């Protein structure tokens, strides 16, 4: 229903709810704009100087404007209590269980996205700040820790299987960044010192989206949505949504690379 807003194409299961909220807000705001604008014009004509040569200090005696203001407050309360709070609860408070989801750790830094998967064992290995090396080990993964051996780290590239709940655990190494993928209708600030989870279910693969948009080069793009420094504009990452099988294959290739990085 929100095509008229020119939103980017939708590619996540919950996105319809977000879009309809955005649509309703626009409709209500249009009604408010037209209503208040009309009232403003009415007031200019009704209280013109030629009709009211002397100021009336008692002012308007009818209660109509009070009722209108109450009406506006009621509409706003409905938006907040009826739409925004339930959607917030569903989207933010109710996380899917981690064993049914793919957990991806995304650590923002000036000016890149470091992505880490737990690998086949499903456990993120230890990290140590002493091991951080901007080129070879940006997250300081301690490869001597057994669960860390199969941790897969990528730069500015997130591979995701389609139709599976994804939990992104968002962190930052330096300043406040913001993880935004418009097609998934997610946007969340990454704040140093905090790990903030967000979740979504991507439901259109990159290949399908290329056909749907007739754009052979289409990519889901992670845009840093907070001005985070001089290189902010080039802080882009890419999300590739693939079938479960293709994801499995991609993961196996990365694991093979870990075993033999010079292959
Ligand atoms: Cu940034």
Task: Give per-residue burial for 129-153: e unless 16+ CB within 10 Å, then b.
Answer: eeeeeeeeebbebbeeeeebbbbbb
Q: What distance in angstroms lies between residue 230's CA and the mean position of ligand 1's atoms?
A: 9
pLDDT for 263 beyond 60:
no
Of 195, 197, 210, nearest to 240 by C-alpha is 210
Q: How confident is the model at residue 6 (pLDDT cuts 50, 70, 90)?
A: confident
Percent of the chain with pLDDT over 70: 98
Count CB atoms within 10 A of the CB of residue 125. 19
Distance in angstroms (rounded) separating the CA atoms of residues 184 and 95 = 16
Ligand 1 centroid from CA 226, angstroms: 6
CA of 228 to the centre of ligand 1 (A): 5
Distance (Å) from CA 75 to ligand 1 centroid: 36
Q: Which residues of 154-166 are buried (b: 16+ CB within 10 A; e: fewer)?
A: beeebbbbbebbb
Q: How far is the CA of 235 from the centre of ligand 1 (A)?
A: 6
Ligand 1: distance of its center to the CA of 178 in Å?
Answer: 6
What's the mean per-residue pLDDT of the chain?
Answer: 90
Q: Which residues on adjacent β-strands are paired with residue 168?
A: 104, 198
Calculate how far, in angstroms, residue 177's C-alpha sits from the geometric centre of ligand 1: 4
Widest CA span in the chain: 90
Cβ atoms within 10 A of the Cβ of 204, count?
20
State pLDDT tens for residues 23-45: 888 998 899 899 989 999 999 99
Q: How far does residue 236's CA lie from ligand 1's centre (Å)?
A: 9
| pLDDT exceeds cutoff 90 at 199 | yes
What is the distance in A from the centroid of ligand 1 to the CA of 36?
A: 39
pTM: 0.83
pLDDT at 193: 94
Cα(227) to centroid(ligand 1), Å = 6
The token pair at 2 is 């929100």
Distance 221 CA to ligand 1 centre (A): 13
| Residue entry with tokens 């292959």 | 263
Quickly state the pLDDT bin for 261 (edges 50, 70, 90): low
CA of 188 to the centre of ligand 1 (A): 12
**87 CB neighbour count, 10 Å cutoff:** 15
Is 121 in a helix, a strand, or coil?
coil
pLDDT bin (cut points 50, 70, 90) of residue 2 is low
Task: Using the mean position of ligand 1's atoms as its centre, give its distance from the Cα of residue 222 in Å.
Answer: 10
Mean of pLDDT values over 121-144: 88
CA 109 to chain CA centroid, Å, is 18
User: Separation of 233 CA from ligand 1 center, angstroms?
Assistant: 8
C-beta of residue 18 within 8 angstroms of C-beta of residue 7: no
How many helices (H) and strands (E) the chain has is answered by 5, 10
Edge-to-edge order in the sheet of strand 220-224 = 157-161, 236-242, 220-224, 177-181, 186-190
**Ligand 1 centre and the CA of 110: distance in Å?**
6
pLDDT digits (tens, 9 = 90+) for 142-152: 888 888 888 99
């Amino acid at each position: 229903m929100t095509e008229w807003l020119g939103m980017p194409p939708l590619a996540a299961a919950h996105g319809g709810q977000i879009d309809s909220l955005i649509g309703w807000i626009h409709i209500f705001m249009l009604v408010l704009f037209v209503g208040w604008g009309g009232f403003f014009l009415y007031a200019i004509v009704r209280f013109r100087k030629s009709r009211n040569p002397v100021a009336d200090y008692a002012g308007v005696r009818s209660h109509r404007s009070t009722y209108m203001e109450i009406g506006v407050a009621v509409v706003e309360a409905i938006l907040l209590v009826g739409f925004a709070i339930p959607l917030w609860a569903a989207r933010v408070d109710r996380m899917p269980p981690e064993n049914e989801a793919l957990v991806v750790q995304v650590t923002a830094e000036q000016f890149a996205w470091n992505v880490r998967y737990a690998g086949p064992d499903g456990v993120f290995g230890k990290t140590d700040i002493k091991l951080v090396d901007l080129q070879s080990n940006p997250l300081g993964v301690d490869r001597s820790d057994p669960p860390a051996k199969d941790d897969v780290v990528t730069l500015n590239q997130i591979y995701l299987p389609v139709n599976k709940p994804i939990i992104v655990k968002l962190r930052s190494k330096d300043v406040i960044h913001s993880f935004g993928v418009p097609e998934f209708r997610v946007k969340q600030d990454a704040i140093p010192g905090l790990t903030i989870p967000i979740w979504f279910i991507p439901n259109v693969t990159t290949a399908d989206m290329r056909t749907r948009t007739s754009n052979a080069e289409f990519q889901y793009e992670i845009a840093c949505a907070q001005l985070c420094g001089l290189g902010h504009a080039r802080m882009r990452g890419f999300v590739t949504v693939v079938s479960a099988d293709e994801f499995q294959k991609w993961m196996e290739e990365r694991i093979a690379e870990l075993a033999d990085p010079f292959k």
